[in-house]
Homo-oligomer: A and B are copies of this chain.
Amino acid sequence: MPVVALLTDFGDRDIYVGVMKGVIAQICPQAQTIDLTHQVAPYDISGGALALWGAYRYFPRGTVFCCIVDPGVGSQRRPIAVQSRDYCFVGPDNGLFWWVLDEEGCEKVVEIQNKVYWLPIVSRTFHGRDIFAPIAAHLAKGIPVDDLGPEIEKESLHRLPPLRALIGKEQIVAEVVHIDRFGNAITNLREEDFADWVQELGWRSWQARIAGVTFSEILSYYGEAKKGEPLLLFNSFGLLEIAVREGSAQKDLGIEKGRFIEIVPVDYP
């Protein structure tokens, strides 16, 4: 049973997602559609890219990801389909896929042009329904990406800045890239990058500062802190996270997306 995973900024108060599922069921009744999330903030391309990057590797081989965060709908941004070794990705070429493709590689990218696979009438404001959902359903049915349009160069794809913290010899500056449902503040500092940096530090210890709180250790899980106490840990996606045990880093510490956390040696001037 082929899987189509949906990722959008459509929220849940409208029929937009339901209609896309209706279109998919019509074209590929045997597909199982899975909602990755539809609560990407409106127009937040990097928020969508982060969600996709965190999730895609947990899906079955052959999953078609239909991803729509598309402020440029109707204009000149290209609709694309990407075949990687294990997955297909369908959506607008605006950076949404970049962090995944940069990691997963891609075997082929095409610009979606072949209208045979679109809905007969295509609006200029809802390509999710009229182009991307039908294409995803046809891919789930087994058509190759080649059928969708001309191949384009991977190098020509829209990029995002790397999903990595700024790392200097004496300083790390990481950015809060997502606040989750529990108010955990997730940053772009990767566990492996931090490990390398700490090794470079040698015998010197470090401290991390954000929102007036200073941390000097990384815990393994929330329960290692006392209730209501702030903590740092590398989360299940390998990213540094600021949390408050059974509380909310967002509400209790006032940390929002876009905020920086700075990590320096303790003897840093």
A interface residues (Cβ-Cβ under 8 A, vs B): 1, 3, 5, 7, 9-19, 21-23, 25-26, 29-30, 32-39, 42-43, 51, 54-55, 58-60, 63, 71-75, 123-126, 129-130, 178, 180-182, 220-224, 233, 235-236, 246, 248
Contact = CB atoms under 8 A, between A and B. Distances in A.
A86 B173 CA distance: 53
B235 A74 contact: no
A123 B55 contact: no
Given A59-B22, A223-B74, A235-B125, A12 B38 contact: yes
Instruction: Please report whether the interface of chain A is mostly helix, strand, loop or mixed according to DSSP.
Output: loop
A10 B33 CA distance: 20
Given A22-B58, A25-B59, A26-B58, A223 B72 contact: yes
Contact of A34 (B10, B21, B54): B21
15 contacts: A1-B29, A9-B181, A12-B39, A13-B181, A14-B181, A15-B36, A18-B55, A19-B36, A22-B63, A25-B63, A42-B181, A42-B248, A75-B223, A124-B221, A124-B233
B30 A12 contact: no
Contact of A10 (B16, B72, B181, B233): B181
Looking at A34, A36, A125, A222, the one whose CB has the most chain B CB atoms below 10 A away is A125
A71 B246 contact: yes
B22 A34 contact: yes
Nearest to A50: B15
Contacts of A16: 180-181
B236 A181 contact: no
B74 A19 contact: no
Given A180-B13, A182-B42, A125 B25 contact: no
